[in-house]
Amino acid sequence: MTDDTIDPVEGAPETGTQPGSWSVRIIDLSGASEDEDDTVEVVKDFIDLMHANAYARAYVRDSIERCRTPGASSKEVLENWFAFGENAEVVDAGEDGWKSSTELEDFAATPATPMERDWRAIDPRRLVDDEEIAGPPDDDDDEDDENRHEVIRH
């Protein structure tokens, strides 16, 4: 094997062995989706499995909070979520993928903080490359350097 190839982890799903290859499926629990399996969308290009798991968890956390009504018991919150909410699952992650079933009762019993709900901050469609921030290369770099002042802080 050469240094530039990736050694797949034994038992790892084939679709998730390359960086950026993980996906999260968003599932409409209300049954209103036109798709047979109630998939609303598939979010792609997560950096790694941990990123996909964090996104799925935050997405479900937010969905549960949107289904929470003032004064509702945790049972009522779950009933609302199963009737109107959206679930998220990491595609082809097997046992390593985050599962909403492991935390639903805790989520329903305890309201989330804004940070716990913020799936948008980690949405791979919103991530920006360093090159995009820097913009195109500047051919006149020497002139810019002449006018640059160095700030030294002690």
Residue 116: predicted pLDDT: 97
The Cβ of residue 99 has, within 10 Å, a number of other Cβ atoms equal to 17
User: What Å distances lie between residue 13 and 8, 18, 58, 88, 115, CA to CA?
Assistant: 9, 10, 23, 18, 30
Pairwise CA distance, residues 20 & 6, whole Å: 14
Residue 102: predicted pLDDT: 94
pLDDT at 12 over 50: no
Q: What pLDDT band is residue 86 in, cutting at 50, 70 and 90?
A: very high
Tell whether pTM > 0.85. Answer: no
Residue 21: predicted pLDDT: 85
In tens, the pLDDT along 63-82 reads: 999 999 999 999 999 999 99
In tens, the pLDDT along 13-43 reads: 444 456 668 999 999 998 765 656 788 899 9
